Amino acid sequence: RNEYIQKAIAAGKHVYLEKPMGGEVAELDALIQSAANAGVQWLDGTMWYHSPRTLEIADKLASGAIGKVLRVSASFTFKAPNDEW
């Protein structure tokens, strides 16, 4: 899989990648760096990763604002933009 991703980057194509991505952390880091060096955009297909809610919680965890987390329960939901969905 990484071979095809690298070929796309080398061809100057922007990369949108669903999980699983890259295999090992070092492989993924190398692909992301390769995209940066080639001047192409890299976007992971995990929508919650870039969500403002996720970023806000990450900031609160890092600052200690919500204390020590003992347990997390989550659901994947979203409001459809219209009835046609």
With contact defined as beta carbons under 8 Å apart, do 10 and 39 qualify? Answer: no
With contact defined as beta carbons under 8 Å apart, do 30 and 3 qualify? Answer: no
Catalytic residue among 7, 19, 60, 68: 19
With contact defined as beta carbons under 8 Å apart, do 61 and 34 qualify? Answer: no
> Is residue 60 annotated as a catalytic residue, yes or no?
no
Q: How far apart are the first and last CA of the chain?
A: 32
Catalytic residues: 19
